[in-house]
Structure 1
Amino acid sequence: MDMVDTTKDMGKGMLSIFKKYDRVKISGYMQPQFQTIQTKGAKSYAGGDFAPNVNNRFSMRRGRLRIDYVHFSDTKKPSVQFVFQFDGSERGFFTRDFWGRILENNTKLFSFTAGLFARPFGYELNLGSGDRESPERGRMSQSLMKVERDLGAMISFEPRGKTNWLRYVKLDAGVFNGPGLNATADYDSYKDFISRASLKPVPVQKNLLLSAGLSYFNGGLIQADKYLYTLDKSGHFTPDSSQANIGRKLPRKYYGADAQLKWKHGNDGATEIRGEYWWGTQTASAASNETPAAIFTTDPYYTRKFNGAFFYLLHSFDTHNQLGVKYDWLDPNTGLSGTGINTAANAHPADIRYNTIGVGYIHYFDDNLKLVAWYDVVKNENSALEGYTTDIKDNVLTLRLQFRF
């Protein structure tokens, strides 16, 4: 601003440029990390599978750069927001957010968002990777909604500038392609409807905050192969091979409920409990319960009932030191368990339940630097399938630095 002399034409021109571009915000973070796992070549949800001869690695888990622009109307109210964010690492460069939002300023109640952005489902799914205490989201998030984002449009009810109870309420409802960033384009005409009703942190007592949410997902994918396997009452997957199956919509229906309770105490200390539970129906392949990235042309489809949860216990001693414990599970097939998961039942490793307990220490040097030391204990249920009769050795230690600006 020392260069801006408004008594001269050049200074006036620079001032107009400054006023124009002060609505632009550039931010980002990078997460270099070191990991070690119990077994070489182990499959992992802690940042991806390890290479066949590798049980430790350095990696750049995320390298994000985000550009925000907000346009103000003649009445000095924000009317349009634009966001572009990409992720760069040794694996390449990928778009993570690319969306625009229109803010309605008459009643200050509504907004409309379109583009590539996070699905409005659940709490953990929408907690940014730079703010989350655990290194990764839970197994269920990564399986059902890999990379969290999708192309679509959403309308939101979020009162702005209110002083009554409405300031604590937010409602989102949107329509999305379905495959998300798993695929480079949509592979069928079926769309996913996703909605979330949330209560923002509200003080229920002095220094005690409560927030909560309910989520609903109604979607599906096209059946391109005539074979569909569903679980019968005897605990066996039985095929339906009717030619009429081809082209119909196979279900993906999820329900979610979450709550967060935070108690502020001491010298900038806080204790927080978070709980989140999902359940519903997932259609995927025989070998995987992940949402498909492409249409199956030769592989059969499997429809399974699932449930899972995420639980956090976080304790901050002050603004710099925090301990965390996280427990999450995913049961991709609630109709089978233990030795009932066998080849005679046409079952696969995708039907096995996993439980993960993570413990960690987070040190915040300041707003720009964070250290995370986190250990995940991963347990799969014992089944009758070869290679899964006992627990797989896949516990993983993550040591991460996060630089942020």
Structure 2
Amino acid sequence: MKKPLLPVVLALMLFPSLSALAQTPAPATPVVPAIPAGDAPAVPQDMAPPSPAPEAGAPPDALPPPPPPVPSDPGAPTVEDRLGAVEGKVDGLDESYAGTKSTVEKLNRIKFSGYIQGRFENRGNSVNGVMANGTAATTTQFLVRRARLKLNYDGTNAEYVFQIDATGAGVSLRDAEATFVDTWTPFGFRLTVGQFKWPFGYEILQSSGDREMPERAAVITALFPGERDRGVRLTGRYEFLRFAVALVNGAGTSVAPFQNNDQNTFKDVVGRIGGDFEFLAIGLSGYWGRPLIPSALATTTSVTGMDTNMNGTFNPGELTATTSTNPFTYTRFARERIGADAQLYFDVPELGGLALKGEFIWAKDTNLDFGAVAAKPCLDTTAMGWIGTLVQNVGDRVGIVGRIDYYDPIRAKSLPDSCQVTPPMMAAQKRGAGDGVLSFGGGLLLHGSGNIKATFVYLHTSEQSTTVKNDIFTAQLQARF
């Protein structure tokens, strides 16, 4: 059988081309575009594309060269620049903190304090209207007894104290102290110039916000009116020892008519020395001065007449009234004050703290020559007074207070016999006899907290010579900060 020649010829012609094609590497598999959903089945995601065939003649383990480095941005900050910027911010915060700390330290040295005493007084001698001279009468009323605002600044070797009292009667200066503080010696010296309390006794120096009774005793208000004066004061302490001495004007701050001026070049000396033994405090005080006491302006009216019609009587038009004003006159005195005080504190079991306080004051004023006016021995006075106070706390909220005090402004036995009898029409009356005043009272103290206190006190006053209905019941609420 004869085979066809055409297939054999075609096979011989295609053989060289197939050999060359076998030696040529296969091209990379082209990326197949995604087939829309629904047109073809999804290809599994974990099927990797085939690896490209290595080039002819290349080593089997050769890797492609790494990509060239990306050039850095010349404007980007370096690590050193960033650290410098952070250090600058920290330095700025340090400066800001130092300034804030300095301001806070100054503010911490400033301390505001004060209290308000709202009061109701029921007086036994209450009257309606005003007095004949136009002044307010004593009456049962509500009032703001004290409204104090105090500022303290504690600086470097310095202290500043300023206190005012603002009530319905007006605003008055109570304390104005500029103090140099000693921080080098063990005595803690403090030198103060300004307006301050007289360093005498106990009740003068006790704050009205801390005092248990509504008002100070009669002996204090009579011999030390206003409790303050202007001058220079030195205080100090060493262990249990306490002392204070002051050189003052001597006119006080509440004696009319020259509250702001001293009419006397002579300065008074006042001081106290004592000991503080924690449960017991004692002290001795003294005062010595030469004050000038001014008289108040007074008017006198004189009437003159002429009986022109000779009828033996003065008819209208025949009388003439003349009013004249007397000038100020001064009287000089030698002033002496001696005082002693003691305070005892201890706890009563199952009850609370108990305080016993006592004070005694002796005073003498001797009239002296002044100008062309000779001294008058009958103007000499010797006075004395004493105070006894008991305070018993019941727990932390309740307190009971009782006080008895006596004041004799002119001791009759201290005057010469020639001064005992007044003009003949009053021969039975002796100067200074029967003028002593004894007061005793007490009440309840309620402490709501350290900032609020209610006081309910009844005070009875007994005069030696007369009987006057001048008892006082006081209900007071004090708020302090």
Q: Does TM, normalized by the shorter one, top 0.5?
A: yes
Counterparts of 1:144-163 in structure 2 under 5 Å?
Answer: 144-159=223-238
Does 1:179 pair with 2:256?
no
Match of 1:199 in 2: 275
Aligned counterpart, 1:282: 365
Contact 2:402 2:441 (8 Å CA) reproduced? yes
Matches within 5 A, 1:383-402: 390-402=466-478
Query: Given the alignment of the two structures, is residue 82 of structure 1 paired with residue 160 of structure 2, yes or no?
Result: yes
Which residues in structure 2 correspond to 1:1-400 (within 5 Å)?
7=93, 9-41=95-127, 51-52=136-137, 55-72=139-156, 79-109=157-187, 110-159=189-238, 167-182=239-254, 183-202=259-278, 209-222=279-292, 249-266=332-349, 269-282=352-365, 302-335=379-412, 343-344=426-427, 352-382=435-465, 390-400=466-476
* Residues 190 and 222 in structure 1, CA contact (< 8 A), matched pair in contact too: no
C-alpha displacement of 1:56: 0.6
Q: Quick one: distance in 2 between partners of 1:119 and 1:80?
A: 21
- Output the CA distance in 2 between the equivalents of 1:59 and 1:283: 39
Q: Which has the larger radius of gyration?
A: 2
Offset at residue 102 of structure 1 (A): 1.1
Distance 1:80-1:224 versus aligned 2 partners, 3 A rule: closer
* SS at 2:253 equivalent: helix
1:380, distance to aligned residue in structure 2 (A) = 0.8
Q: Which amino acid aligns with 2:143?
A: S
SS of corresponding position for 2:379: strand
Shift of the alpha carbon at 1:254? 0.6
- Opposite residue 176 of structure 1, the aligned amino acid is V
Cα pair 1:40 1:51 within 8 Å, conserved:
no
Q: Decide whether the 8 Å contact of 2:292 with 2:331 is kept in 1.
A: yes
Alpha-carbon distance between aligned partners in 2 of 1:13 and 1:397, rounded to the nearest angstrom: 55
Q: CA deviation at 1:188?
A: 1.0
1:84: how far off? 0.2
Provide the secondary structure at the position in 1 that maps to 2:213: coil
Aligned letter for 2:230? L
CA-CA distance at 1:131 after TM superposition: 0.4
Quote the Cα distance in structure 2 between the aligned partners of 1:248 and 1:354. 26
- SS at structure 1 position matched to 2:184: coil
- Give distance in 2, aligned partners of 1:112 and 1:350: 44
Q: Is the 8 A contact 1:36 1:396 kept in 2?
A: yes
Aligned to 1:242: none
TM-score (norm 1): 0.75
Question: 1:168: how far off?
Answer: 1.3
Once residues 85 and 341 of structure 1 are traced to their aligned partners in structure 2, the CA distance between those partners, rounded to angstroms, is: 47
Q: In structure 1, give the amino acid aligned to 2:237.
A: E
> Residue 412 of structure 2 contacts residue 431 of structure 2 at CA under 8 Å; is this kept in 1?
no
> The residue matched to 1:190 in structure 2 has which SS?
coil
Change (3 A) 1:259 1:341: farther
Asked if the contact 1:336/1:351 (under 8 Å) is kept, the reply is: no
Q: How many aligned positions are there?
A: 331
- Report deviation, 1:157: 2.4
SS in structure 2 at match of 1:143: helix
Q: Cα RMSD (Å) of the superposition?
A: 2.8
Percent identity, please.
Answer: 28
Q: Distance in 2 between matches of 1:360 and 1:350?
A: 32
Structure-2 separation of matches of 1:364 and 1:187: 45
CA offsets 1:35-93 (integer angstroms, 9 cap, x no match): 01112249xxxxxxx943x5311111100000000112xxxxxx111100000001100
Q: Hey, what does 2:68 align to over in structure 1? A: none
| Structure 1 counterpart of 2:250, one-letter code | G
| 1:103–1:393 Cα change, 3 Å | same
SS in 2 for 1:180: coil
**How many Å apart are 1:276 and its aligned residue?**
0.6
Larger relative contact order (Cα-Cα within 8 Å, sequence gap ≥ 6) = 1
CA contact (8 A) 1:341 1:352 kept: no
Change (3 A) 1:372 1:16: same
Report deviation, 1:106.
1.6
Q: Distance in 2 between matches of 1:41 and 1:250?
A: 37
Residue segments in structure 2 that go unaligned for 5+ positions in a row: 1-90, 129-134, 296-328, 368-372, 415-419
Cα shift at 1:322: 0.6
Contact 1:102 1:112 in 2 (8 A): yes
Deviations 1:88-143 (A, max 9, x none): 00110000000111122221312211110010000111110000100111111111
What is the alpha-carbon distance in structure 2 between the residues aligned to residue 304 and residue 6 of structure 1?
73
C-alpha distance in 1 between matches for 2:237 and 2:335: 28
Provide the rounded CA distance (Å) in 1 between the counterparts of 2:432 and 2:411: 14
Shift of 1:256: 0.3
**Alpha-carbon distance between aligned partners in 1 of 2:399 and 2:294, rounded to the nearest angstrom:** 49
Paired residue secondary structure (1:252): strand
Q: How big is the shift at 1:222?
A: 3.0
Runs (5+) with no aligned partner, structure 1? 43-49, 73-78, 160-166, 203-208, 226-245, 285-296, 383-389
Q: In structure 2, how many angstroms separate the alpha carbons of the residues matched to 1:276 and 1:403?
A: 28
Aligned partners of 1:22 and 1:347: how far apart in 2?
Answer: 61
Aligned-partner Cα distance in 2 for 1:403–1:143: 28
Distance 1:199 1:41 in 2: 47
- The structure with the largest strand share of the pair is 1
**Normalising by the residue count of structure 2, what TM-score does the alignment of the two structures yield?**
0.64
